[in-house]
Structure formats: structure tokens, C-alpha cells
Amino acid sequence: MYNADENDIRFAIRHVIGLNAVTDLTPFADYDADICDAVLSEAAKLATEVIAPLNQSGDNGSTWHTDNTVTTPAGFAQAFKALGEGGWTGIGTAEEYGGQNMPEILCAATREMWHSANMGFALCHLLTEGLIHALQTSASEEQKQMFVRPMAEGRWTGTMNLTESQAGTDLAAIRTQATPEGDHYRIKGQKIFITYGEHDMSENIVHLVLARTPDAPTGVKGISVFIVPKFLVNEDGSLGARNDVKCVSIEHKMGINGSPTAVLQYGENEGAIGYLVGEVNKGLNIMFNMMNHARFSVGIEGLAISSRAYYQALSYAQERRQGIPLDRNVGDAIIHHPDVMRLLVTMRAEIEAMRPLVFYGATALDRGHYDTGESKSNWQTRAELMVPIIKGWMTERSIDIASDGVQVHGGMGFIEETGAAQHLRDARILTIYEGTTAIQANDLMFRKTLRDQGVAVRTLIEDIRQDADKTLLAAIEDAETALDHILTGGLSTREAAAISVPYLMMLGYLTGGWMALKNKTAAIAQQNTGDWDANFLKAKIAHADVYAAHSLPRVASLAQTILNGSKSVEAMESHWFDS
């Protein structure tokens, strides 16, 4: 029931986005098609043979012990060791710190396979990648050498520590204290919702912690970032004494149960030793850099769990026999029922739109980092615009796609035995962690649209227009009408926020339609080459047409909501709910 979808990933990279989009960047000049194919094949093999078999059993969850240790599900530690030994844990890390510096498009493809195989397991690597990214960008050279290399080698893992019980999204309310002491700080406070904050899969855990120094200004301007290792590190890189940080409990959750979500207590005794990253009171930008990387990866998780739910449903529909499908034969499987076919083909159509959109975002990230001149700046702007769309739209759609997967199973989908329900439960967190959909939407509305008066969005729309057919052009017109209303409609700040999620979803469906059409164009162009199976190409064309008929029209309906929906929400008084 697990399928890495290696063939479609390869098609999207080669023909929809184009491998040359990254190979003309100097660091990636050697990544030809053969090398990329080899990476994808090995990543798919690892996902299929090592990671996926642990998914359903891993749903039983990790176990916290009274000595403040955590045991992950059977097989997790061995699987993570296999990632490290195979060099996979450092694929995106710079070579000077023990990594392979692969292009983000290949890292994204690998993440999709692993999260589709087992999201609870793969989260450990996701957070470690994010920490590596943050340290490579902001840490001192000594800190990079000390902490990045062991994580790239898979010997250590990393976490991100933002949330406190009184401070969720509101980082200004953080109370964790960092008191200077010589060349380090003493950290005291409690952090919650820490993914893989304690586990048995690595020798050490490196926590990146938000805290305040004693004289820090109030609000977000007083936040600093500190490296706090579970075990202190000696000058020669060996592990020393246990730091003053411990896991006091793990959460009982709806999904991703294999991933231990820890409550961490810092400084129960003298205080945990931490090392300042960057400058005092300048930590928010460092953490947001890590969060931006994580948000893109969570968007990939939306694609990944959608794909897993789809293949689970497809397998069931091909085997299950129930009733006689209209105009079909006795004994035909339920896949021949028209509505089951509708569910499956619309699931697949959106997945095939999501996948190249992820790779487009990955390309924008790489070009924004490695390109030069004006092109570099343009790609940076494009990457910043795409991250909230990818994170918000794909995770929202993953819930509905996973739910449709349950629907295909009928009553058996409601039974945990089949595994279909797990995908829905796992998907449900994706619109919440690393910034809720509303946070992504407000970022898109206020920082990415209103701040520059829509320049970045209009530039994106113009790029879409260059590839558009008649159907996509109509959707573009609807989107532009909605955008004009946002920019010139005299909306109050609250009114703009009230329609920010519909705005994000509208751009998600529009950019998805762009990728669906590019899929179709590429499939048509490949029909006479002999490089691809004829049925594979016919299916891609059909999926693009399904997207145009079933998903793209939502641009128009969401545009109407944007035009007419804000004032009706703002007219509501909160106390009326009690009437």
C-alpha cells in the first residue's frame, strides 16, 4: 500500500520543473539526470524497505519512563541508524560540515518519500535539518564545527524550542531565562510541544532554545537563541556530563504517535548550559530562518500524507468488491463505481499538482541562495512568497484528501485495522504546527502582498499567464479581481485578516492549476519520445483535465468570498454566540 511514486517524482523534476533550473547553479553543476535518478532510486528503496514497514506499528507511540528517558517504537532507532550510515542525514548540509550539499529539489523529493512512508519517524530528520540550516546561517564557525557535523552524520539530532504553556504563537510572552556565566549562559524554564525532545535514536540531542537574558527588552525584541545540548560536548568533540535539561513527560496525541512530543524542563538544578547563537536580543530572525525551512518541509508533509492516503485507497478500491458498478459486471471491484473513481482521480489530480509546486518552491529556495545579481533577489522574493502558499494550501488539502481516502474504504476506513484512519489523524496536525494556516495566511496577506502593494503576487501571476490556456486564464482573471479588491477595496486590518485564509487557498488552487497544466504540456510533449509508458502519459493528461474541472473552479468561488466575505465576518459580535 506504500508507493514512493518515484516515477512521477522523476517526471516532475525532469520535464515539469526542469533539472537545468538548478544544474546551471555552480554548486550543482554535476547533478546530471543519472545522478539524480540514482539518488531518487536509493531514497525510494530506503523508504520502501526500511521506513514504511514501521509506520502502522509506530502508531502505537513512544514511551516515557520515570527516569525521564523515552523509548521510540520498535525499529525506529535501527532505521535512523541506517539513514546515518547511508549518508542520508546530511544530504542538504554543506560539504565542509560533513554533508553532501544536494540541491533542495532532491532533498525535497527525499523528504516526500520518507514522510509518506512514515511521518512520525521522519519528523526527527526534518527538525534536525532545520537546526542544521539555522546554524549554518547564523552560528559561529566554532559552533558549526562542534554541532553541525555530528548531526549531518546522523549521530546527533536537533530540536526547535519555542513554545511555552503561556506562549504559543505569541513569542513575546516567552519567560525562559538565560543568565550569562563566563563563555556560556544558564538556561531555566520549561518548553512544551518539542518534537523529538527526548528519544533513543541518537547519541546526543541539540536543542535550539528561545530565551531572554536578564536585561532583555520586553516583547519579541528581547529574544535570544541558544544551543543547549542534552550532553555537554568536550573540546575534542566527545560527550561529557548530562546537561541540566530533562523530559518530564510526552504528550498523548491524535496522530504522528511514533514521534515523541516532549515537555522539557531546563534548569531544575543549577541551570542548563547554553551557548548564544548570533547576538543577544537578535534571536527572532534566526529562529524564523529555521521556521521558514520547517514550514516548507511541512508543506511537503502535506503532499506526502496525501500520496500515502491515495495509494492506500487505490489499493483497497482495486481489491474490494461491493455491489455491481453501473454498466459494469458482477465481481468488478469498487474502483468502477463512478463516485469512487471521482474520489480517487481528484485525489490524484491534486497530488500531481502539488508535487511540481513543491519542486518549484525548492528551486526558488536554491536560486535565491546561489544565484547572482538581480535574479538572486527575484528568486528570494519568489521563495518567500511560495512558502506560505505551499505550507498552507497543501496541508489544508491533505486533510480532505486523507478524509477522501477513508471514504473510499467505506466503513472499513473507520476501523483502525486498515490504516486509513491513521493517515487522516497524522494529517490533522499539519495545518497547526510550524504556524497555523491563519498565520501563513496573515504572512501572505500583510507581509507578502500589502507591504509591496501586490508587486510580488502580480509578478507570479504574470509568470503563470505565460503558460496559461483558456481555462487557466479565466482563473487568473478571478484571482486578479480578488487581488485588486484587497489592494484598493479600503479593507480594515481586521477585514483583510478575515479573508486571508481564502486568499491563501485561492493562490494555492491557482498555482496548483499552473502546475497541472505544465504537467499536461510536458506529458503531451513526451508522447512520441518513447521514454515514458504511454498509459502513464495518458493518465497525466487526464489528471490535469480533472484538476481543471474539479479543483481550479475553486479559484472563482474563493475570489467571491474575498470580494464579499470580510464585512459579514466583522459584523459579528463575539457576545452574540452566547445568545
Q: What angle do CA 88, 36, 87 make, to 5 degrees?
A: 15
Contact 119/155 with Cβ under 8 angstroms? no
Residue for grid cell 467505506: 410
78 Cβ neighbours under 8 A, 6+ residues apart: none
β-strand pairing of 70-71 with 224-229: unpaired
The Cα–Cα gap between 190 and 407 comes to: 41
Residue for grid cell 496577506: 445
Assigned C-alpha cell, 346 = 481528484
The Cα–Cα gap between 126 and 158 comes to: 9
Three-state secondary structure of 436-468: CHHHHHHHHHHHHHHCCCCHHHHHHHHHHHHHC
> In whole angstroms, how large is the CA radius of gyration of the chain?
24
The Cα–Cα gap between 386 and 296 comes to: 9
**DSSP letter at 97?**
G
- 83 backbone dihedrals φ, ψ, rounded to 5°: -60, -45
Q: Side chain identity at 538, as an amino acid letter?
A: K
β-strand pairing of 184-195 with 272-277: antiparallel
The Cα–Cα gap between 570 and 484 comes to: 20
E-assigned strands of 197-312?
204-211, 224-229, 231-233, 239-242, 245-250, 261-266, 272-277
The Cα–Cα gap between 83 and 151 comes to: 12
The Cα–Cα gap between 51 and 116 comes to: 9
The Cα–Cα gap between 409 and 123 comes to: 27
- 562 backbone dihedrals φ, ψ, rounded to 5°: -65, -40
The Cα–Cα gap between 64 and 47 comes to: 27
For residue 548, count CB atoms less than 10 angstroms from its CB and return exposed for 0-12, middle for 13-18, buried for 19 or more. Answer: buried
Give the HSE-up count for residue 536: Cα atoms under 13 Å, Cβ half-sphere. Answer: 16
Of 39, 1, 257, nearest to 117 by C-alpha is: 1
Please pick, among 434, 462, 480, 573, the residue that the annotation labels catalytic.
434
Tell me, yes or no, if 573 is annotated catalytic.
no
The Cα–Cα gap between 379 and 356 comes to: 17
Residues annotated catalytic, as ranges: 434
